[in-house]
Amino acid sequence: MSSIKNIEMVAPRNRLVSGMPKIGIRPTIDGRLGGVRESLEGQTMGLAKTVAEFLSQNLRHANGLPVKCVIADDGCGAPACIGGVVEAARAAEKFAKEGVGVSLTVTPCWCYGSETMDMDPHVPKAVWGFNGTERPGAVYLAAVLAGHNQKGLPAFSIYGRDVQDAGDSSIPPDVQEKLLQFAKAGLAVARMRGKSYLSLGGVSMGIAGSIVDQAFFENTLGMRVETVDMTEFTRRIDEEIYDPNEFSRALLWVKENCREGRDHNPPEKQRSREQKDRDWEFVVKMAMIARDLMVGNPRLEELGYGEEALGHNAIVAGFQGQRQWTDHFPNGDFLEAMLNSSFDWNGIRQPFVVATENDCLNGVAMLFGHLLTDTAQIFADVRTYWSPAAVKRVTGHTLTGLAESGIIHLINSGAATLDATGQMTKEGQPAIKPFWEITPEDVAKCLGVTDWYPATVEYFRGGGFSSGFLTRGSMPVTMSRINLVKGLGPVLQLAEGYTVDLPEDVYNTLNERTDPTWPTHWFVPNLTGSGPFRDVYSVMYNWGANHGAVSYGHIGADLIALAAMLRIPVSMHNVPEERIFRPSAWAAFGAMDPQGADFRACANFGPLYGKY
């Protein structure tokens, strides 16, 4: 792996059309001139500048670019507070010009609620009312939130637990947490708007998640769906519509760094060495072509393919594969694994989001996770619940520690991101990092524990290669999934938990019962003792589909906040109540029944971009 030592970091860039969404800061103020407003200008604007600096210093977009904040101005470029409707209109005009996608109102004082509030129906909103005694910031917070709720424009409420002095310009830790949680979820909403889901193929093996519902993408996410038949791959391969220089470089990199594993097929079904070598060339081209289809490639225009150079502005894609493709051509596992990883022959870079079997609903869950964590996402089958008794019967081993109540085997054909090996570390613990934190040593470790097994031909008659590795234990992760239910629409479910380690012989015994050529992730959800989280079996039993998207970290609260912004109710979660953050209006739908209130609020306000 000599080439890995010199692997370069690809500079952060926006590979999609439209600028990066910004956060708009709206300092609101008591508009009474003659002493009141003048006494508050400095404190109010100071609060806005402090928040803008805090968010800019602590947030990045998933592509590594910095998050920029825009403060309302007087219409001539000078920062200005909002004391009434004219100044609110000026702020709205500036935000529209600047590409603001998230709105945050801050104030230490009383202001005129409905005259100063943000009225844009599509921009996520929050209000921080400073907890002080000199001026009633909390009174404005309550008043303006009542206006938001009455007008059907839900907003998040941010109010510090402890009273601050008027001259205290610091942001308390509890307020910091809510500011970051709101901002990151709001930026995810804004980033998805106007982008595409690229459906490469159609329905895979009758899987409901690969029945792409365009209304869901348009009305709930503000996205569009682009559909490309899989024959486009064969056309581009046959007509050589790809960068030949990149292909030569990529193939050499793959030969040096992607170790081919043992062929587990019966001897009579194994493909010849010549066929396997052709398969390697084919799957490398597939990966390049899928990427070009998603985001375009200016090199193609230089080669005379101007239309193909544009791509489809796809922030997420799915590849059907089975069975019409894989019965004849090499499978898409390499394509999916490499694009979902944070590195390839071009260097260390932002991972793509590509769903196996064109499961667009799992792809959306992966996209949510990527935009919230900035990290690569794992696509997996929620394959098997192994009870302690079953493990004991089959292996003689007694599960202990986190695994003592049983484990869920997450595994799918070798299409999972290589970041999921757990070979990267943070503070000595297995982790998945944002790409800008990844080192060449991290890349070498991930590749070093990954074998690329010749595809199991009983599944993939056309050959190909599947990545095989074992995810290290002790990683905090969150598994999530979007499901569509007729009459209800989209619902989100999630389970926070950990990956776990098993003794090698136990792992081998259990893994051989499925498919040893695929990556394995042993998952244990955090249990609450009630409902679907009363035990591990119940989590498996209540999972809504055959696939799950797995993100690094316990991000359930962030997913819940994002879902509320999009009006997607959450049917199943194990997030402690004190971590849940939703718009203030949700309490009006049943503060004593927060899950039921979530369903009622989402149904009442409806999808963010129009009736589903």
Residues of the chain with pLDDT under 50: 2
Report pLDDT for 1.
56
Report pLDDT for 611.
82
CATH T-level topology, domain 196-605: L-fucose Isomerase; Chain A, domain 3 (3.20.14)
Report pLDDT for 571.
98
Report pLDDT for 414.
76
Report pLDDT for 133.
80
Domain(s) of CATH 3.20.14.10: residues in the chain: 196-605
The per-residue pLDDT for range 591-606, each reduced to its tens digit, is 999 999 999 999 999 9
Report pLDDT for 40.
93
Contact 500, 402 (CB under 8 A): yes
Report pLDDT for 294.
98
Catalytic site positions = 357, 381
Determine the residue type at 381. D
Domain(s) of CATH 3.40.50.1070: residues in the chain: 22-192
Report pLDDT for 132.
87
Report pLDDT for 29.
96
DSSP string, 330-391: --SHHHHHHHHSSEETTEE-PPP-EEETT-HHHHHHHHHHHHHH-S--EEEEEEEEE-HHHH
DSSP string, 485-496: ETTTEEEEEEEE
Report pLDDT for 415.
86
Report pLDDT for 428.
95
Report pLDDT for 514.
87
CATH code linked to domain 22-192:
3.40.50.1070
Report pLDDT for 96.
96
Distance between CA atoms of 519 and 336, rounded to whole angstroms? 13
Structure token pair of residue 433: 């990092």
Q: What is the dihedral of CA 595, 598, 599, 600, to 10 degrees?
A: 120
